[in-house]
Amino acid sequence: MPARSRPAAVMAPAYEHRDGYALIDTGAIRANAAVLAAQVAPAGLCAVVKAGGYGHGAPEVARAALDGGATWLAVALVEEGRELRAERIAAPILVLSEPPPAAMDEVVASRLTPTIYTRPGLDALRHAVGRAGGRPPFPVHVKVDTGMHRVGAAPGEAVDLALDVAADPALDLEGFWTHLAVADEVDNPYNTTQLDLYDHALDALAGHGVRPRVRHAANSGGALWHPRARYDLVRCGIALYGLAPDAEGITRPPVPALRPALSLRAGVSYVKEVAAKERVSYGLRYTLAQESVIATVPLGYADGVPRVLSAVGGEVLVGGRRCPIAGTVTMDQIMVDCGPGAEVRSGDEVVLIGRQGDQTITAWDWAVAAGTIAYEVVCGISSRVPRVYDHTWPGPPAGS
């Protein structure tokens, strides 16, 4: 039985005494960025690194993605952009939602590129740029809502905002963009509806002699499967991390060329033999049909292991075998039914997500079982799980 050991390439974790960690393969991030950049060329690749790089670690992901061919980064929050600047990352950083007025001074100071879709937001940015003074025109991206109805100005309003930006010598209308609601549904005609509305808005701007340099509409699904949506830039989040945008897309090219970048591993913390007919964990819902070896693993729902897995046949890998989670997932630990007479010792490696031997459990396996999406699985791995970084990368694929 292999003993659990962390790779040599380790970022000092905040919880250094925990016998569990998320292994982040930054080589996979680089390789995925290279695959995506080649797929969407001549459009550029924007690596979406919000939410702590989808749970992978934003600064590390950002550096790897830029090394692999990304030219832009995107975040959800001004604070996320500030974190990247503090790490001396100089690439353009797009803030995907309009920052609050009180944050605009920080936007300007940190050289973040704001998304704008309201008049108060534009006014607040103008005031912040004016207070900063002595700078070249400050880049702005205006967002048009073409039908997702989350954020973004209605097409006519977005055109008016963009024209106002273009007319202001202190501002630069660098970008004009939208977001697709069903890009992972390849044949859904709503994608065409949204792109038509976006093109009509672009045509309206062109009618006034205004042509934004960076047009963008594609998220990962758009980048992978909708060539029309690529324009000048695509914004890839989940695909950058080696995961399909939806469960049906796992085998749809070019997803098989991507490599999942995160695995979740731990060491067995305790082992005992439990008699037949005994029941295990909270609620005593798991009954042993025969005497079995039960291994305790020190990761639980507070670490991001979905509690529902215990009710839907969740498994982990021990010694290259799939073993069921035995009973309710608890806050800090799970129990695993390793079977009668299993040779399992404290310290042996357990893989919750990832590969061991010839067996693999993926974030999408968890997501499908739990009735959610892989995004939520990887983002849900909590901050008390140390991130360990493996920076090995053999280089881009031949011909890329």
To the query of whether residue 282 is one of the catalytic residues in this protein, the response is yes
Neighbours of 148 (CB within 10 A): 14
CA 31 to chain CA centroid, Å, is 16
Distance CA 400, CA 397 (A): 6
Distance CA 356, CA 359 (A): 6
Q: Output the CA torsion sign for 366, 367, 370, 375.
A: positive
To the query of whether residue 21 is one of the catalytic residues in this protein, the response is no
Whose tokens are 């859904």? That residue is 188
- Residue in 21, 50, 143, 198 annotated catalytic: 50
| Residue among 65, 47, 41 nearest 231 (CA) | 41
Helix segments in 268-362, DSSP class H: none
The secondary structure of 52-114, three-state, reads HHHCCCHHHHHHHHHHHCCCEEEECCHHHHHHHHHCCCCCCEEECCCCCHHHHHHHHHCCCEE
- Residue in 21, 198, 282, 301 annotated catalytic: 282
Distance CA 112, CA 156 (A): 26
Whose tokens are 């067995």? That residue is 268
Token digits of residue 323: 């073993």
Distance CA 182, CA 371 (A): 18
Q: Is 241 exposed, middle or buried (0-12, 13-18, 19+ CB in 10 A)?
A: buried
Neighbours of 178 (CB within 10 A): 26
- Please give the positions annotated as active site: 50, 282
